[in-house]
Amino acid sequence: MSKRTESIEWVALGDIVLGTNARTIRPAKDRINEYARSIAMYGILVPLIAEKHADGYHLQAGYTRMAALAQLKADKALTALAQLNGVDLDRVPVRLYTGDEKGRLMLPIIENNFHDVMNEVDVATQVRSLLDAGQEVQQLEEFFGKPKFALLLSVLALPAEVQELIKADRIKASTAVKFAKEIPDPAKLLKALNKASDKVEQLYKSGKRKNKRITEGVLKGKQTPLKVVNDVAATLKKNPPSFHNTKPEATQLLLNFLHGLQQGMDAESILEALASGEDIQAPEVKKRGRKRKVEEPVEV
């Protein structure tokens, strides 16, 4: 474990150096507004985390609290509420950290992971920095759990464009990793994901979908049993597969079975038809759209 010493100081806002946040997720406005109101009523109860340098206090965790404080000071009503409650708007409590590089890199992960505001790409990037700094794999496995740690390593291997989709919350990291295994060619993977992303966007705009996240159902289509039957039957009719030693009658037998399922026949009826060699025809394709109204002849 990394060695560390800690203390808490009240620091002037002007001495806080924001630096670079370890996460790319921006807190929602509602979340910031809730934090701002909470601070106006009770102050900052959980100290920020920072490193003390010659040019100021370099923030490691607490970006949402800083954003909420800025929002509070820009709102006259909340400012008045804070003053009424005796909340100090010019200084903030800061927990100072002095330790090694590995401990410093772990701070944002620990702080942000508890609040579920860090996406897997940001966490994975931070993990890579930890590994480069000499952090032991076993300790990271104990912290995240082996499945989550393995997922983070897999995220690092994804194409940059796919990582951007994860960061934008357009696809879950686990889903992206699964698709990458099924479609190992990066170009084909990106093409499939972009196509799915466009489809999701259209569904979202039409109100048929509540979020813009790519799912397996969108990428592959809903794999209901009947859809699988229809897809196999269509493929067999269009381009019968040439399996080794497969006879044409075997393909026809399978087609008859699939047509029976499409027709809604029960098991006994399908088996009787197959036993007698009867051809089961595919159901008629129903035409979609409104039926034209047939005008009645007018007597003259």
Report the 3 state secondary structure along 69-103.
HHHHHHCHHHHHHHHHCCCCCCEEEEEEEEECHHH
pLDDT of residue 249: 76
pLDDT of residue 114: 53
Give all domains of the chain, ordered by start, each with its CATH number.
Answer: 1-99 (3.90.1530.10), 169-220 (no CATH), 225-276 (no CATH)
Contact 188, 206 (CB under 8 A): no
Q: How far is CA 160 from CA 81, 125, 187, 219, in A?
A: 46, 12, 12, 19
Q: Report the C-alpha gap between 162 and 214 in whole angstroms.
A: 11
Cα dihedral 223, 225, 230, 236 sign: positive
Q: Report the C-alpha gap between 183 and 153 in whole angstroms.
A: 18
The confidence band for 202, taking pLDDT boundaries of 50, 70 and 90, is confident
Mean pLDDT for the stretch of residues 134-148:
87
Average pLDDT, the chain: 80
- Which one, of 63, 69, 32, lies nearest residue 50 by Cα? 63
Mean pLDDT for the stretch of residues 50-76:
89
Q: Report the C-alpha gap between 151 and 136 in whole angstroms.
A: 17
Strand (E) or helix (H) holding 197: helix 186-205
Mean pLDDT for the stretch of residues 123-150:
88
Q: Report the C-alpha gap between 284 and 265 in whole angstroms.
A: 15
- Global pTM reads 0.53
Q: Report the C-alpha gap between 82 and 61 in whole angstroms.
A: 23
Q: Report the C-alpha gap between 68 and 79 in whole angstroms.
A: 12
Q: Report the C-alpha gap between 185 and 195 in whole angstroms.
A: 16
pLDDT digits (tens, 9 = 90+) for 218-266: 676 665 666 667 767 777 777 665 554 556 777 788 888 888 888 888 8
Mean pLDDT for the stretch of residues 139-162:
90
Cα dihedral 160, 166, 170, 175 sign: positive
The confidence band for 97, taking pLDDT boundaries of 50, 70 and 90, is confident
pLDDT of residue 214: 83
pLDDT of residue 169: 85
